[in-house]
Amino acid sequence: MSAHEVKGWCPGALRPMRSGDGLVVRVRPFGGRLRRAQADGIATLAAAHGNGLLDLSSRGNLQIRGVTDTSLPHLIEGLRAMGLIDPSEEVESRRNILVTPFWAPGDGTEGLVSALTDALSTPDAPALPGKFGFAIDTQRSPALQNASADIRLERDAQGGLILVAEGMLTGKPVTQQTAVAEAMALADWFTRAGGGARRMSALIATGTVPKGHDTPRQAGNAAPVPGPVPAGVLVGFAFGQMRVETLAGLAKHGSLRLTPWRLLLVENARDLPDIDGVLIDPADPLLRITACTGAPRCEQALQETRALGRALAPHLGAGATLHISGCTKGCAHPRPAPLTLTGQARGFALIHNGTAADTPIRTGLAPDELKDHI
């Protein structure tokens, strides 16, 4: 497998990441929600200052692609005018907050998000690794347990709030009033316990665990699919990517909540018209294929991925899932997958029940051979 550069941080708006098609500018909506005007404004800005492509990330963020060094200041100015920019790069890098899209007004979620945002913005907030994140998963049954996070707020079986260090099967009981202070104390414990540049689960795996975390967690729900939910309608996109016109079209129907499943929730919507690029059939095989940007848009990718994904979709077995990665980093799906194709200098490696970097059972497979192996 080929070597690659591990950056150890995620892009932001104030710290974009360079890719093969220009700068990637990640917008982190406050509370995981875009008002209609904000969504429409992002579409306009991305058309003017990017290449017209938008990505949904597995951390519930929106990425603007194809930004240039010249257009970046104008893009940031426009995003700041819409209230989508943090006070500083340091605050932005700490504000990795994933919010359940299924919250309801008055259920306490918005208050927790606001308080945690404020706490992470203070000068004395812990210095956390670039990929360290928080999840506010406050519905009756957790929805975000398979999404990337290090410190979680979720419900136990009795409906009480518990604070969970990722990697543990138990958590610490907290209240609406104490939850954020306890979460920040746990983040501080992580830094003092030697977390360093690691993630919480890596620290927990060493046997170092916080005290008082002895309340059992409850099992969470499976990842949702497009369709109606109490808060509106969930819609999907092939590989989590859309054009600016698609975002502008969705913004006409309601405010948007971002998710870690590369779906958008259109608030209070019931029936949506056909919108180009939107997937509404939960059985669509494209929803079961995860693929990174691939070559040539990613400088580290060794193979093109998304055209391949479209070609393979009709051949994917019922209920089967597929991860296609342009290199061994596996950015689009860092965890093990039942079936993974990893780009190599020549062809693809085939991996069963592993990550993009794991040992393959076949190597050097040409694209036209792959349909016989999935």
Would you report the helix, strand and coil content of the chain in percent, each value rounded to 5? 25, 25, 50
Q: What is the pLDDT of residue 42?
A: 98
Of 240 and 7, which is predicted with more confidence? 240
Residue type, 357: A
Q: What is the pLDDT of residue 194?
A: 84
Omega prior to 296 cis, within 30 of 0:
yes
Query: Over 70: is that where the pLDDT of 332 sits?
Result: yes
Q: What is the pLDDT of residue 9?
A: 74
For the chain, what percent of residues have pLDDT higher than 70?
A: 97
Query: Over 60: is that where the pLDDT of 238 sits?
Result: yes
Query: Over 80: is that where the pLDDT of 1 sits?
Result: no
Q: What is the pLDDT of residue 230?
A: 96
103-141: b (≥16 Cβ within 10 Å) or e: beeeeebbebbebbbebbbeeebbebbbbbbbbbbbbee
At 335, is the pLDDT very low, low, confident or very high (cuts 50, 70, 90)?
confident
Q: Would you tell me how many other CB atoms lie within 10 Å of the CB of residue 170?
A: 15
When pLDDT is averaged across residues 84-106 and rounded to a whole number, the result is 96
Query: Over 60: is that where the pLDDT of 120 sits?
Result: yes
- What is the spatial order of strands in the sheet that 241-243 belongs to? 17-19, 22-27, 62-67, 53-56, 241-243
Residue type, 50: G
Q: What is the pLDDT of residue 2?
A: 43
The number of angstroms, rounded, from the C-alpha of 372 to the middle of its chain's C-alpha atoms is 31
Q: What is the pLDDT of residue 32?
A: 97
* Assessment of whether the complete model's pTM goes beyond 0.85: yes
Each residue of 9-45: pLDDT tens digit? 789 999 999 998 999 999 999 999 999 999 999 999 9
| Mean confidence (pLDDT) of the chain | 95
Each residue of 165-190: pLDDT tens digit? 999 999 999 999 999 999 999 999 99
Residue type, 49: H
| Separation of alpha carbons 159 and 143, rounded Å | 14
Q: What is the pLDDT of residue 361?
A: 97
Q: Residue 205, class by beta-carbon neighbours within 10 Å (0-12 exposed, 13-18 middle, 19+ buried)? A: exposed
Strand partners, 241: 55
Contact call for residues 356 and 325 (beta carbons, < 8 A) = yes
- Structure tokens that stand for 70 in this block: 């010249």
Q: What is the pLDDT of residue 103?
A: 97
Each residue of 189-237: pLDDT tens digit? 999 998 766 899 999 999 999 999 999 999 999 999 999 999 999 999 9
At 6, is the pLDDT very low, low, confident or very high (cuts 50, 70, 90)?
low
Q: What is the pLDDT of residue 39?
A: 98
When pLDDT is averaged across residues 125-153 and rounded to a whole number, the result is 95
Strand partners, 229: 232
At 271, is the pLDDT very low, low, confident or very high (cuts 50, 70, 90)?
confident
